[in-house]
Structure formats: structure tokens, C-alpha cells
Amino acid sequence: MRVLVTAEALERRVAELAAEIDRDYARTDALLCIGVLKGSVFFMVDLLKKLTVPVDIDFFQTSSYGSSTTPGEVRIRKDVDIGVRGRDVLLIEDIVDTGHTLNTILGLLRFRGARSVKLCALLDKKAAREVEVPIAYRGFEIENLFVVGYGLDFDERYRNLPYIAVLEGEAAAAVPSPS
């Protein structure tokens, strides 16, 4: 395993993102922060602890339908509990890869009448993009590599690493296409 983003670099960048978000939403009554389970959890907790604007918190959980037959069809496995109509929503995600997950969720939030919807993603794997999604707050742009740690998993493992690492060798060869 090769460390790609250290814990120190993560902490610094998360603080910068929080400062930007604080500034942009200074006039918002209550920002609705929605994380996408499970990958966004570590990032979301660290980010939200650094915000001073009032926030409400909720979660989506998604998975893809048989991706070999219908690539990009996203299933909502857990919906949000809080109504989004008229709300300013900040969607928080660990990584944007093909973009299908976020594209689907952003569309759904707009359809339900959110007042505004912006995306905050820790990692941007730009070279893997199949559908364009606007990232308002982006932590790091990374190469098209499979990464783990700080919420990101390989087969549910490694989420609790305090840094972002690239899987190399045998483990990497066994990595399925992420979706």
C-alpha cells in the first residue's frame, strides 16, 4: 500500500474546504448536509466539525444495478429522512469516479425542489468520468487509481485508515470495477 494523501494533508485540506463553505453559506438559515453512505462518513464528520454555520445532517445510500448490463443505473438503497424542498443542500461524497452516482442524486434533489444543490467531494478521479458533474468543493484531484482509506473501502476493508492509500500488487489485481 502506497500513501497518496497523508493524514496531515487531509486535515489541512478539510479545514480549507470548511472555511470556504462557511463563507459561502454564512447567510443560510440551516444548511442541509447530505452524505452518501458509507464512504463519505469520515470526511463528513471531520468537515462538519469545522463548520460554524448551522447544519442539519442526513444520508443517502446507493448501489448500482447490474453494472455489466446497464452501466450507470443507480439504485437508492436508503433515502433521506429530511424533506429537501426549499432547502439549501450540500451533498457530501468521498469520491467522484464515473459520476453516475452523483449525477443521479443531484437530479433527484433538484426534482424534489431543493432551493440549491452543491456538491462537495473529497476526491476527484477526473479521468474516469462518464457523465459530467459540477464539483463546487473539491479536496484533491487524483489519478485513475483505486484508492482506500478515510472512508473508502476495498470489499468493506480499510475504511478506517487515517490516510488515503493506493492498493498495489496482488490486492490491486483483485479489485473489481468500483460501483
Q: Summarize as ranges the residues that interact with ligand IMP (CB under 6 A).
A: 39, 93-101, 146-148, 152-153, 178-179
Q: CB of residue 109 vs Mg ion: minimum separation in angstroms?
A: 16
Mask of contacts with Mg ion, 16-55, x by CB under 5 A?
-----------------------x----------------
Taking phi first (over 0 means left), then psi (-120 to 50 degrees means alpha), and beta for anything else, what does residue 158 get? left
Taking phi first (over 0 means left), then psi (-120 to 50 degrees means alpha), and beta for anything else, what does residue 155 get? left
100 binding partner (options Mg ion, ligand IMP, none; Cβ < 5 to 8 Å by kind): ligand IMP
CB-CB contact of 36 with 91 (8 Å): yes
Q: CB of residue 95 vs ligand IMP: minimum separation in angstroms?
A: 5
The C-alpha angle 59, 61, 67, rounded to 5 degrees, equals 155
Nearer to ligand IMP, 140 or 146 (CB): 146
Dihedral sign for Cα atoms in the order 93, 99, 100, 104: positive
Nearer to ligand IMP, 53 or 90 (CB): 90
| 99 is an interface residue for Mg ion by CB under 5 A | no
Positions annotated as catalytic residues are: 97
